[in-house]
Amino acid sequence: QEYAASTVLAAYSCMNPGVTKTAAQWGGLVRSAYPAYTGPRPAVSVWHGTADATVVPRNAAESVKQWTDALGADQSADGTEALPGGTTRTDYTGPDGSVAVRSYLVQGMGHGTPVRPGEGCGVAGAHFLDAICSSRYIARDWGLTG
């Protein structure tokens, strides 16, 4: 089975410059990880900064390709919205009409988790970057908050 990376050296190459596969190849890796599984899969949230030099931004697009295929969603975006912190949210709808993959691209953000200290959402520091409250958006996306 050929994954994105199976050694430490390959993992670094996967992060930067990245690995390109077709949506079907990426989705096939998900399905082959547990071929007997036929149940539902949860929606996926992909977050990435446009200035990430550790895991380059093209990896976000590869993740979207993988999960839209694995979840049976169309590869074409069904909606895009501008959010605070220079963030663009893009939705991909699954066969049942609900959002299967939601991608967040944070303009100018480097490698880390986006937080928003001014809104009571985390403390900025190494790998916790002041941009948008990712935890709040993920909780809303997954129906954990009202």
pLDDT of residue 2: 62
Range of the domain at 129: 8-141
**C-alpha to C-alpha distances, 102 to 46, 55, 62, nearest whole angstrom:** 6, 19, 13
Domain count of the fold of the chain: 1
In a domain, 3, yes or no: no
In a domain, 146, yes or no: no
Q: Say whether pLDDT at 3 is over 90.
A: no
User: pLDDT tens across 54-79, in order?
Assistant: 999 999 999 999 999 999 999 999 99
User: pLDDT tens across 10-19, in order?
Assistant: 888 889 998 8
Phi and psi based region of residue 81 (left: phi greater than 0; alpha: psi -120 to 50; beta: remaining): beta
In a domain, 101, yes or no: yes
In a domain, 110, yes or no: yes
User: pLDDT tens across 16-57, in order?
Assistant: 998 899 999 999 999 999 999 999 999 999 999 999 999 999
Q: Are 139 and 145 in contact (CB under 8 A)?
A: yes
In a domain, 97, yes or no: yes
> What is the reported pTM?
0.91
Of residues 2 and 6, the one with the higher pLDDT is 6
